Structure 1
Amino acid sequence: MKLRRESPPSGTMRDWINARAEAEGTAYVFTDSTPPLTWSDLRNEAQRIALALTAQGAAKGESVAILQPNGRDGVLAFFGAVYGGFRATLINLAAGRDAISYALTHCEASLALVHDNVADVFAETRPDGLARLEMPTEVAGIDLHDVTPADHALLMYTSGTTGRPKGVVHTQSSLLAGGWTTAIAHDLTPSDRALCVLPMCHINGLCVTMMAPLVSGGSVAMAPKFSASQFWTQLRDTQATWFSVVPTIISHLLHGQADPDAKTKARLRFGRSASSALAPDVQRAFETRFAVPIVETMGLTETAAQILSNPLPPGVRKIGSPGIAHGNEVEILDADLRPCPTGTEGEIAVRGPNVMLEYLKNPEATEGTFAGDWLRTGDLGCKDEDGYLFVTGRLKELIIKGGENIAPREIDEALYSHRDVIEAAAFARPCKTYGERVEAAVRVREGSGLTGERLVGICVEKLGAFKAPEKIHFLPELPKGPSGKIQRLKLLDLT
């Protein structure tokens, strides 16, 4: 199968994996010294996992929970699940125990692919009826489920303003289209190799740096996680030609001591920034210091990552803009869901083959997100006369820290779990390192000796350190509207 710019990929993930296996090229190399995978290795191992899941009774389209860090086992777990016609359900291992438990329960998986390093987390969070798959030495007499492009392939949880994470469902078709939008925007070829330093449970890590090479015929170099001290060395040693990161990583690299050598800089075609806005000053400073062009993009979990991208050099890259649409349509809609004139602010909406099918078991949220075939992003923006989009704000109250979406209500609920808390609301404060940081305001009962350190500790325990507030503000009363609802957006000015 070949990459075609004019139309999204046809067929299924199984079809594309099988086709790549015929070419016998390298699929994955790993920076942790585990053995590399050719495409035929990947196909054979994915098939073995798929057969094992089928033999254990996993139904077509059923969720298979994947609790795996970046690495060889994680790659094979994901591809094994989708190859077998199952819904690969990637669990964010950095989330708190409550969030992991919720995802494992909500997805209704009966089988999980669990790395040994997180076996204790699985044991503490798994619901009744969810078992860890034990790989048999041999599976015989089992036929894989038939798979079609419309079948479920991916379930990934994303935070929303309603508090509980929503389960985004992608089909075999939309998952492939997510890799295609990246591949055509960046002119990827079979000779390109992506360095993956973002977690595969993040839509950027999965659909950009794992799916795009499947579609383009290239390869992936995977690191367990981002390391500022090892990043340039990993690019050198793996011979990678491009990378996709978030603005926080670009900032860390810019402020680090390491530099790429001349051969690495010459080989690198581009770096890619996504998940949140990249500060223009940071982008300019990075390119000046490292001589590596940065392409700013925009994507969502609901669109299998990319919807917008700046062109590669020598095309026009507009600093401060995530670019133009590739492989889908992006429009600015007014309050009546009609296209806005050039330069007029409205809500950013997208439609195309990479758009999700639905939110799992949440028809109300699904209906509220779609306007016809347009997916409403909740972000505000406008287009210039050249069609480049500029993000101006967002309708939702999401806190975006280091490119990760954090729902304030999750933090509110953790704070309210202490009996002394009467009112609570989390909010975002601008931050040079992460774009935004988490803070919270509370009102506690009179005479309480509750401290901010104690409340932060509760949030860390329930949600993980990343989502926990950095500072707790104690107020005599939180601002409210006529209905009594706390006005979260006023807290920044009051603290």
Structure 2
Amino acid sequence: MIAFNAAPPQGTVRDWLDQQASTRGDQIAYRFTDGAADLSWASLRDVAHARAQGLTALGMTKGESLAVMMPNGRAALETLFAGLCGGFRVTMINLAAGNDAITYALKHCEARFACVGADQQVQFAATCPDGLRPLPENLDLMAQVPLHPLSSADDALLMYTSGTTGQPKGVVHSHSSLLAGGWTTARAHALTEHDCGYCVLPICHINGLCVSVMGCLISGGQLLLAPKFSNSQFWSDIEAQAVTWFSVVPTIISHLLHGSQDPSAAAKSQLRFGRSASSALAPEVQTAFESRFGVPIIETMGMTETAAQMLSNPLPPAARKIGSPGVAMGNEITILRPDLSVADDHEQGEIAIRGPNVMKEYLKNPDATRASFTPDGWLLSGDLGHRDEDGYVFVTGRLKELIIKGGENIAPREVDEALYAHADVIEAAAFAQPCATYGERVVAAVTLCAGSTVTSADLIDICTHRLGAFKAPDTVYVLKDLPKGPSGKIQRKKLADMMATRALGD
């Protein structure tokens, strides 16, 4: 097997788990904040193989979908590795997606069997299509049968996109691309067997699964897995469990920044870095976080289609560029014009990626798969941005989220960043609303820290000063919470729909 920092991983997830178990044996691999017993490499291999044999004895064929409806925890992790070791297409169901989206995913993936958590039984019953049944609890006690032969090109993971512009698309990753997702993380952040990561993001999302779980598998280190993010437990968990790095999203960074707790000296001394992904991190928030807590934040960028990471800033003391998710590490990045020619430095275009971590396809959707790739194999991200002379990419927004006011494109991100300039703003999101004069107008919504006296008019004035009156929002709604996906990423379309309905009601 090839060292993770030399070249993309070869083999399958089963190969890597078997090697880690043979090499590290009783060393702890995964730990849990909910009180579940630790999992050593050897014990994880043993339970994964036993349950994979049970699935095979049930008649599951190689490559068929195995639906997983379970929250973060030991059971979900064991199920994930059992499915991967058995040669099945593990289909992680987003428990927060809503019943319609869950029903669609369960039907579309054509799974015959589902692993369902105790607290998800009611939700499963409400979303289960005909022909899908829950698995028995005694899988590891069933017939011991040979496992299916596996290759690196075989299907490993099926994960559905959020479906904000239509039906969710099922992203298929092979063993090769899934392992590469962990490898790009390990390579960018120099992860070793001495590191312990902290995962508070759901592993039904690509960030939690590839960055944290697969990053641990590739590096041979440890991972502390939490059921979910807890502002009150975050720093104490890091200190108590000797965590050296964590992966979160910008909304979590903002909530920590506005929280009352600080990391202890011991926690700060052991932490190498924190990692931010899934959406843009406002420069003011990053700077304030690092100034207060003394923990460097490495901004990155990824997609479900790229097994998470596609860009990353380097670790200190190398140059990090605030406002950029970094440079390509482990894959190639280019900026393309609308005619698919390569843009010059500092010229805006669509960000495209090519590399070992790119998906195989969208399940049962050849048209969408074909439309997502250029003839020479670049995956189109749907994100606009430019690259500077040092290779750092700067993202200006999503193509589908651009606000087109009077024929001028306005990126919601620049409005977000202007709003985050006020210290009381915890969450912010700009979006378009219809306008009889300009076609679309700029609107935004924020959440504020407790006791804040800042007004919507104050925030509009800040935006006007920083961006000019044309780009400043006409209205800023102050809400208790903004709608977010499973990773904590604010969902602009859902927010826009929600506020449009509210405007009609008014």
TM-score by length of 1: 0.83
Shift in Å at residue 435 of structure 1? Answer: 4.1
Consecutive unaligned residues of structure 2, counting only runs of 5 or more, are 404-411, 420-424, 436-482
Question: In structure 2, what is the equivalent of residue 94 of structure 1?
Answer: 96
| 2:142 corresponds to 1:142 | no
| Rounded Cα–Cα distance in structure 2 between residues aligned with 1:248 and 1:93 | 19
1:182 partner letter:
T
| Rounded Cα–Cα distance in structure 1 between residues aligned with 2:402 and 2:196 | 33
SS in 2 for 1:392: strand
Question: In structure 1, what is the equivalent of residue 55 of structure 2?
Answer: 53
Retained in 2: the 8 A contact 1:160–1:398?
A: no
| Rounded Cα–Cα distance in structure 2 between residues aligned with 1:198 and 1:161 | 20
Shift in Å at residue 142 of structure 1? Answer: 1.2
1:340-489 alignment to 2 at 5 Å? 340-372=343-375, 373-397=377-401, 430=416, 432-436=425-429, 467=494, 470-473=498-501
| Rounded Cα–Cα distance in structure 2 between residues aligned with 1:155 and 1:319 | 33
Question: In structure 1, what is the equivalent of residue 5 of structure 2?
Answer: 5
1:388 partner letter:
Y
1:73 is aligned, of 65, 72, 75, to: 75
Task: Go from structure 1 to structure 2 and tell me whether the alpha carbon gap of 1:241 and 1:101 turns closer, same or farther (over 3 Å shift).
Answer: same
Question: In structure 2, what is the equivalent of residue 260 of structure 1?
Answer: 263
Question: In structure 2, what is the equivalent of residue 129 of structure 1?
Answer: 131
| Rounded Cα–Cα distance in structure 1 between residues aligned with 2:163 and 2:69 | 22
| Rounded Cα–Cα distance in structure 2 between residues aligned with 1:368 and 1:433 | 37
2:248 is aligned, of 245, 249, 274, to: 245
2:222 is aligned, of 219, 224, 241, to: 219
Retained in 2: the 8 A contact 1:439–1:471?
A: no
Task: Go from structure 1 to structure 2 and tell me whether the alpha carbon gap of 1:105 and 1:194 turns closer, same or farther (over 3 Å shift).
Answer: same
Retained in 2: the 8 A contact 1:49–1:135?
A: no
2:429 partner letter:
E
| 2:18 corresponds to 1:18 | yes
Q: Deviations over 1:254-294 (max 9, x none)?
A: 00001110011010000000001100010000000000000
SS in 2 for 1:382: strand
SS in 2 for 1:119: helix
Retained in 2: the 8 A contact 1:438–1:471?
A: no
Task: Go from structure 1 to structure 2 and tell me whether the alpha carbon gap of 1:245 and 1:151 turns closer, same or farther (over 3 Å shift).
Answer: same
Question: In structure 1, what is the equivalent of residue 335 of structure 2?
Answer: 332
Retained in 2: the 8 A contact 1:183–1:215?
A: yes
| 2:311 corresponds to 1:318 | no
| Rounded Cα–Cα distance in structure 2 between residues aligned with 1:126 and 1:160 | 19
Shift in Å at residue 139 of structure 1? Answer: 2.4
Shift in Å at residue 441 of structure 1? Answer: 7.4
| Rounded Cα–Cα distance in structure 2 between residues aligned with 1:398 and 1:74 | 37
2:362 partner letter:
Y
Shift in Å at residue 396 of structure 1? Answer: 2.0
SS in 2 for 1:348: strand
Q: Deviations over 1:81-137 (max 9, x none)?
A: 111000010000011111111110000000111111101111111101101010336
SS in 1 for 2:315: coil
Shift in Å at residue 437 of structure 1? Answer: 6.8
- RMSD across aligned C-alpha pairs, in angstroms? 2.5
Retained in 2: the 8 A contact 1:440–1:473?
A: no
Task: Give the length in aligned residue pairs.
Answer: 432
Retained in 2: the 8 A contact 1:190–1:218?
A: yes
Task: Go from structure 1 to structure 2 and tell me whether the alpha carbon gap of 1:159 and 1:12 turns closer, same or farther (over 3 Å shift).
Answer: same
Q: Deviations over 1:298-337 (max 9, x none)?
A: 0000000000000000000000000000000000011221
Shift in Å at residue 160 of structure 1? Answer: 4.2
2:131 partner letter:
G
Shift in Å at residue 55 of structure 1? Answer: 1.1
| Rounded Cα–Cα distance in structure 2 between residues aligned with 1:133 and 1:3 | 36
1:335 partner letter:
P
Retained in 1: the 8 A contact 2:88–2:155?
A: yes
Task: Go from structure 1 to structure 2 and tell me whether the alpha carbon gap of 1:81 and 1:439 turns closer, same or farther (over 3 Å shift).
Answer: farther
Shift in Å at residue 195 of structure 1? Answer: 0.1
| 2:184 corresponds to 1:191 | no
1:104 is aligned, of 90, 103, 106, to: 106
Greater Cα offset, 385-394 or 242-251: 385-394
Shift in Å at residue 203 of structure 1? Answer: 0.6
| Rounded Cα–Cα distance in structure 2 between residues aligned with 1:156 and 1:323 | 25
Retained in 2: the 8 A contact 1:52–1:135?
A: no
| Rounded Cα–Cα distance in structure 1 between residues aligned with 2:120 and 2:100 | 15
Q: Deviations over 1:441-464 (max 9, x none)?
A: 79xxxxxxxxxxxxxxxxx9xx9x
| Rounded Cα–Cα distance in structure 2 between residues aligned with 1:336 and 1:438 | 27
2:48 partner letter:
A
Greater Cα offset, 76-85 or 160-169: 160-169
Task: Go from structure 1 to structure 2 and tell me whether the alpha carbon gap of 1:355 and 1:435 turns closer, same or farther (over 3 Å shift).
Answer: farther
Q: Deviations over 1:413-441 (max 9, x none)?
A: xxxxxxxxxxxxxx999575444278977
| Rounded Cα–Cα distance in structure 1 between residues aligned with 2:361 and 2:238 | 37
Consecutive unaligned residues of structure 1, counting only runs of 5 or more, are 400-426, 443-459, 477-494
| Rounded Cα–Cα distance in structure 1 between residues aligned with 2:170 and 2:223 | 27
2:6 partner letter:
E
Retained in 2: the 8 A contact 1:333–1:349?
A: yes
Shift in Å at residue 471 of structure 1? Answer: 2.8
Retained in 2: the 8 A contact 1:441–1:475?
A: no
1:98 partner letter:
D
Q: Deviations over 1:7-55 (max 9, x none)?
A: 1000000000000111122111101111000011111111122111111
Shift in Å at residue 229 of structure 1? Answer: 0.8
Q: Deviations over 1:384-436 (max 9, x none)?
A: 1111100122212399xxxxxxxxxxxxxxxxxxxxxxxxxxx9995754442
Retained in 1: the 8 A contact 2:188–2:312?
A: yes
Task: Go from structure 1 to structure 2 and tell me whether the alpha carbon gap of 1:475 and 1:312 turns closer, same or farther (over 3 Å shift).
Answer: closer
| Rounded Cα–Cα distance in structure 2 between residues aligned with 1:344 and 1:35 | 52
Paired-residue identity, %: 57
SS in 1 for 2:141: coil
Retained in 2: the 8 A contact 1:439–1:472?
A: no
Question: In structure 2, what is the equivalent of residue 413 of structure 1?
Answer: none
1:155 partner letter:
L
Task: Go from structure 1 to structure 2 and tell me whether the alpha carbon gap of 1:249 and 1:168 turns closer, same or farther (over 3 Å shift).
Answer: same
Greater Cα offset, 151-160 or 137-146: 137-146
